[in-house]
Structure formats: C-alpha cells, structure tokens
Amino acid sequence: MFRIRNILSSLLCLAAVIGYLPLASYLGAIPKVAIPLAIIFAFFAERKELALKERYSLILSIAAFLFYALQFNRHNVVQPAVEMLAIFLAIRLVGEKSPRNFMQSLTLAMFCLAGSTLFDLSPGFVFYLIALLFVFTVSMVLLTFQSRAAAFEPDSRELRSIISVALLQPLVAAPLIIFLFFILPRTQLPVWHGLTRAGADRSGISESVKAGDKGSISTGSSVVFRAETKKLLPNQLYWRAIVLNSIKNDEWIRQTPPPEKSTIKDGKNVSLNIFLEPGRIPFLPTLNRPERIIGYRGQPHDDRVFPAPRLTGGLRSYQILAKTDATLSTIGSFNKKFYLQPPANTPERLKSLVARAVTGIRENKQKLDAIENIFAKMNLSYASSGLPTGANALENFLFDAKKGHCELFAISFATALRLAGLPSRLVGGYYGGDYNELAGYYVISEEKAHVWVEVWIDGSGWITVDPSRFAVNFEESVSRKRTDFSLKMRLALDSLSYYWNKAVITYDFESQLSAAVRVSQGFQGIREIRFNLRKAAPYLALPLLLALLFMLLTTKRKTPEERLLAKFKRVTKARYGILFSPSSGLHEAVAHLDNADVREFVATYTAAIYRDRKLTEAEIEQLSETVRRIRKTPPV
C-alpha cells in the first residue's frame, strides 16, 4: 500500500528541481540558495511531518513581495518578478501541504520554468517543459485522489494504473498542443522581445572603433545569427552590418552618409534567410553586397546599411537578395570629400610612407596598388590578444609590435587610403561562419565580428579590400577552417537551436498568415489534380489494409444467437413494423402480435437465453426456419 501524500511530496520536489534548474543561473544569491535548501527540507521534513506554519509562510510571502516590489521599475521588470516567484516557491515548499498548497507549489514551479524563458528561450526549455508537464500531470491526478479520497491507499497495481493514465494524457495531448501552437492567433511581435532581456545586448560588432582602445577582442562563441543559404566560397562570406564613415576624436563613427544613388553591378545572385538570435542589433546583418531585404519596413541608407526597426525584436528573420563578387557603384556624383578626412593622430611614419609610395601616381587604382604593396611588405601578423593600446597604438602596430586585429588593420589601411586621397570607409560586420551541412545554413557567432575597408575607385565604384588579408597568418587565424569532431557535434546540436528558432521563436502572426495562405493554395491545387486510381492505389492500399485489420481486430464478433436475433428483428420489423427498443424485452415487444411463428421464436429463444445457455444446433436450425417462415408469410 502506498500513501499518496508521500508520493506527491516527492513529485513536488522533482517539479521544483525542474522549475529551478533552467532559472538558477539568472537568479540573485537569495533565491539561488533558498530553493535548493527548501527542496532538501521538503524532501526530508515530509516524513517527520515538519512544516512551516501557515501564518509564518504568509508573513514571509508578504515580506518577499514588498522586498521585490520596491525593486520594480520601468527598466527592471523581469528580474524582481522572477526572483519573487522563486522565493514564493521556496516558501511554499517549506510550508504546510494542503491539497491547495500542493497545487500552488506545482503552479509556482511551472511559473519559474516559464520565467526562465524571459532570460533564455533555448531548445533546452522544451526538455524541461516536457519533463515538468509529465510530473505536473501525474501530480495533478494524484492530488485529485488526495483531495477526494484522502484515506485511499492504492496497492502497486492500482498505483501503476493511476500513474499510467496520468502519463497518457500529455502523450495524447502532444499533437494537439503542437497543432494549437501553430493555429492559435499570435501577436504581431513575439511577447518576449518587448521585455528587457538580461545579457542580450551582445552582437560582437561596435558602432564605433578606435585604434588602441582594447587590448584583446571578443572571442565569445554566442551565436549572433544564422543564415540559411547554399554553401558559398570563403571569400564571399562577408556579412555586412554597419559602415563607419567619419572620424571624431580619432574614433571612427557612423554619420548619416552623403546622398548617393548606389547601384550593384555584376556578381552572382544569392538569396538567403537570416534568423537573428535574441539580442539588440542596431543594424541588420546582410551578405556583402545586399540588394534588398524583402519586406523591410525601414529606410535603407545609401551605403547599403539597414537600420534595425525601432523595436529590435520586431524582426527576427528576414530574406535578403544579395550579389556576391559584385561592385557597388553610384549613379551620378556624390560628396567624395566626406570620405577623405584622415584621423588627427595619424603616425608621421605612415604619412611619409604613403607620401613616398604614391608620389607621381595619378590613377586611383595604381594608388590603391601602391598602398596594398606597403601593407604586404610590412610583415604584419594577426592576433586577438596582447594588442597595442594607447594613443600610439597605430604606430606601434604598424612599425613595432607588428601584430594586431582586424580593427587595427582596417583603421591603418583606411587612414593610408585617405592620406593618398582615396575616399574610403570602414565596414563592420562578420567574416566567415561555420556551415551546417545537415540543415544548410551558416552559424555566425560573436567571434566572427570583423572590420574591413571599402575604397572608391573612379570607374569601378566602392571596392572591398580586407586589409587583414595582408597578415602573414591570415589563413590560420581569421579564415581558419575547422573540421574537428567537436565542431561537427556543436553544429549538429546547433541544428536544434536553428529549427527551434525557425519554428517557435520567429513564428509570429505573419508566419501564421503565410502558412494559412500556403495551405489554402495547397487545397486549390488539390482540386486541379486529376485523381488517378491506378497511380494512387499503392499509396492507398496500405492505410486501407491497416484500417481493415484494425476493424477486424476491434469489432466484436457476433455469436450465432446474436446473428439469429438480429435477423428475427429485421424480418419482424419489415413484416409487422415492430420496433425493438434496447430497454424492452422480446415478449413485451411482440405481445400484441397474434402470430404463432413469432411467438414460437420468442418462446424458444428466451427459454434458452434467459437460462444463460447457448442454443443447440437443432434449435438454431429450427429458429432459422421459423424466421424464414415469418419472412415468407404475409401479414393477415
């Protein structure tokens, strides 16, 4: 015999663990420690029937509410709310366990899990959700027994039966849950993105760069976005996000560019879908060079930069039409002087080096070649740490340390170009990405953040130059192609995040609408298909066979007595219009009928059946003959 109350207590601890785990890393110290302690207390105290009295629980809950309510403000909503839920859960776990309290505790565990999605809505959430759903359902069913039949102590067979039927519910509900997820009306913006998200401001790219302002660069592996497209060549993987076109206090910043009617020529068309990870991204990443973003509601800038809509969360996936290996030129003239101002702290040695190299050269293209030559001969190398810092960082990088990261390469190269009188600008974005062969998309993480240069050459337009390529170790350090096993595993796991992002996170009202349109178009298409039985037969045969088998197995086979009775009823109804109701007996139904055959049948049949014996073969034969006579004899 089992005590339902004990089982419920253990299940409650399990539910609390499931609710707590995904949330733990985002909680402050108090709730982070309080819940595990409360779970341990609840687990062991139940056997000794120890619990915090209801009135103390109430006082603690009010104190927790006041404490967290004071921390609420417009910019800090999520953290206090979630921590308050966690503390409430801890208080309930150590408190008395009435059926109502059990119910509240389970709901709080569910809320804690839901609260974790305000910080991170990763596919891992699904596993916790499924686990909690099963624990929740079993607990709810047991709680029903506890509330309605507290004295009931099931044996192992009964307990197994109760738990099985409880587990069956989420299993049966799963298809319906998925169906409802896709059809229920959704908000136009996913609700999560409207809330402040802790730690979601990272994107790896900066809105300004300055030589020597950091000693090392980001190597974070957090995914920034995924790009669904065919596999591209490594030198085509420049993901364009921002153009830094002006210098202010030696810092490269972005100002509204001078008007230019830009156009993209040549190159190969590429269409790709971008799925952004949650986080604030001021400019939408695109593939160099982007023609347009389908459905983009903002105003693209003339230098092919696409500011993210005001609510960054409003656009989590979009389709880009781009051209790789294309030239970006301008129709008509534009203000080239805007792109010619060099930084004030340009090293004298660089100035003289550039001056020497371009003396006597008139053609812009030749000037570019000359500067590229300078960098190629400098024997620079790429590094992500131990970078030169301070006011002389550029000089230090070029002439002493000779090692730096993409920002230093780009700043020094663009500076050199401007010194040579070539309009130039920095382009910030990402370079490279790991291609997931399994699902056909690139994963671009923070560490892929990159800066390169665009230079204006008359007659050619804006040409992309990646100065980091002048590093002697460029291949190994920047465009290294990893093929190790861990990367493959990581990409395989990332497929989950990708599909999760694609199917759940970015599934909004628009996706729903387009899915509905596709389905309705699909139905229209069906009408146009001419049904060809011969072709369809193999596809229909198996389900039909299975259905037939199922019917044969599940349909109760009739006994000879049942068949005989059914025949008798059919014939009597046809001949004399007698209706047999399930509640009335045979005698009653035929009482008013003066027919010897009918009476004979009823007498013989009931004599056997009411004595709970089967009809003999002779009786079946005789009764069949009687039924035949009834059928043949017209009513008088």
Partner 1 sequence: MLGFMAISGVFGLRNLQKLRIALKFPDEIYCNTPSQLTLQLCTKRKFLPHYLLTIAIEGSEIMCHLLAPKQRQERKVTVTFDKRGIAVIRKAIVKSPFPVNFFVRSNIYMLDESCLVFPCPIPLPVGWHDDSTVDAGSLSQRRKGSSTETESIGAYTEAEPLKQIHWKLSARHDELLVKEMSAESGKPVIIELDGLPGGIEDQLGHAAFLINRLILEGRATGLRIGDKTIPPELSRSHRLKLLAELANHV
Of 152 and 338, which CB lies nearer to partner 1 in the complex structure? 152
Site for partner 1 in 93-132 (CB under 8 A): 99
Selected range binding partner 1 among 90-98, 161-169, 422-430, 466-474, rule: CB under 8 A: 161-169
Q: What is the dihedral of CA 252, 256, 260, 265, to 10 degrees?
A: 60
Shortest CB 43 distance to partner 1, Å? 24
Instruction: Determine, following the binding rule CB under 8 A, whether residue 166 of this chain makes contact with partner 1.
Output: yes
Of 64 and 85, which CB lies nearer to partner 1 in the complex structure? 85
**For tokens 């609840």, what's the residue?**
42
Selected range binding partner 1 among 134-142, 328-336, 441-449, 472-480, rule: CB under 8 A: 134-142
DSSP-assigned letters across all residues of 88-149: HHHHHHHB---HHHHHHHHHHHHHHHHHHTTT---THHHHHHHHHHHHHHHHHHHHHHHHH-
What Å distances lie between residue 486 and 331, 387, 439, 482, 559, CA to CA?
Answer: 48, 29, 17, 9, 66
**For tokens 């400019």, what's the residue?**
283
Instruction: Determine, following the binding rule CB under 8 A, whether residue 609 of this chain makes contact with partner 1.
Output: no
Shortest CB 133 distance to partner 1, Å? 7
Instruction: Determine, following the binding rule CB under 8 A, whether residue 550 of this chain makes contact with partner 1.
Output: no
Q: How far apart are CA 521 and CA 154, in angstroms?
A: 55
Instruction: Determine, following the binding rule CB under 8 A, whether residue 604 of this chain makes contact with partner 1.
Output: no
Which regions of 295-351 does DSSP assign to beta strands (E)?
317-324, 327-331
Instruction: Determine, following the binding rule CB under 8 A, whether residue 553 of this chain makes contact with partner 1.
Output: no
* Sole binder of partner 1 in the list 141, 496, 578, 608 (CB under 8 A): 141
With contact defined as beta carbons under 8 Å apart, do 198 and 78 qualify?
yes
With contact defined as beta carbons under 8 Å apart, do 13 and 105 qualify?
no
Of 180 and 566, which CB lies nearer to partner 1 in the complex structure? 180
Q: How far apart are CA 617 and CA 264, in angstroms?
A: 94
Selected range binding partner 1 among 81-89, 175-183, 262-270, 480-488, rule: CB under 8 A: 175-183
Of 108, 99, 98, 100, the C-alpha closest to 39 is 108
Q: How far apart are CA 454 and CA 464, in angstroms?
A: 5
Of 128 and 452, which CB lies nearer to partner 1 in the complex structure? 128
Instruction: Determine, following the binding rule CB under 8 A, whether residue 8 of this chain makes contact with partner 1.
Output: no
Q: How far apart are CA 181 and CA 193, in angstroms?
A: 18
* Sole binder of partner 1 in the list 61, 71, 101, 169 (CB under 8 A): 169
Shortest CB 152 distance to partner 1, Å? 5
Instruction: Determine, following the binding rule CB under 8 A, whether residue 176 of this chain makes contact with partner 1.
Output: yes
Q: How far apart are CA 292 and CA 285, in angstroms?
A: 12
Beta bridge partners of 136: none
* Sole binder of partner 1 in the list 66, 172, 331, 552 (CB under 8 A): 172
Of 184 and 636, which CB lies nearer to partner 1 in the complex structure? 184
Helices (H), 420-532: 474-477, 485-500, 509-528
Shortest CB 98 distance to partner 1, Å? 13
Distance of CA 553 to the CA centre of its chain: 42
Shortest CB 566 distance to partner 1, Å? 19
* Sole binder of partner 1 in the list 2, 41, 125, 152 (CB under 8 A): 152
Shortest CB 144 distance to partner 1, Å? 4
Instruction: Determine, following the binding rule CB under 8 A, whether residue 583 of this chain makes contact with partner 1.
Output: yes
Of 166 and 322, which CB lies nearer to partner 1 in the complex structure? 166
With contact defined as beta carbons under 8 Å apart, do 31 and 90 qualify?
yes
Looking at residue 151, its amino acid is: A
Instruction: Determine, following the binding rule CB under 8 A, whether residue 589 of this chain makes contact with partner 1.
Output: no
Residues contacting residue 520 through CB under 8 Å, at least 6 positions apart: none
* Sole binder of partner 1 in the list 61, 147, 319, 392 (CB under 8 A): 147
Distance of CA 329 to the CA centre of its chain: 39
With contact defined as beta carbons under 8 Å apart, do 619 and 604 qualify?
yes
Of 147 and 222, which CB lies nearer to partner 1 in the complex structure? 147
Shortest CB 496 distance to partner 1, Å? 22
Selected range binding partner 1 among 160-168, 384-392, 431-439, 450-458, rule: CB under 8 A: 160-168
With contact defined as beta carbons under 8 Å apart, do 442 and 449 qualify?
no
Shortest CB 124 distance to partner 1, Å? 20
* Sole binder of partner 1 in the list 96, 120, 158, 207 (CB under 8 A): 158
Instruction: Determine, following the binding rule CB under 8 A, whether residue 327 of this chain makes contact with partner 1.
Output: no
- The number of residues that bind partner 1 (CB under 8 A) is 30
DSSP-assigned letters across all residues of 552-569: HHHSPPPPHHHHHHHHHH
Shortest CB 177 distance to partner 1, Å? 4
Beta bridge partners of 226: 275, 443
* Sole binder of partner 1 in the list 33, 63, 130, 165 (CB under 8 A): 165
Applying CB under 8 A, the residues found at the interface with partner 1 are 99, 133, 137, 140-141, 143-145, 147-149, 152, 154, 158, 161-162, 165-166, 168-170, 172-174, 176-177, 179-180, 184, 583
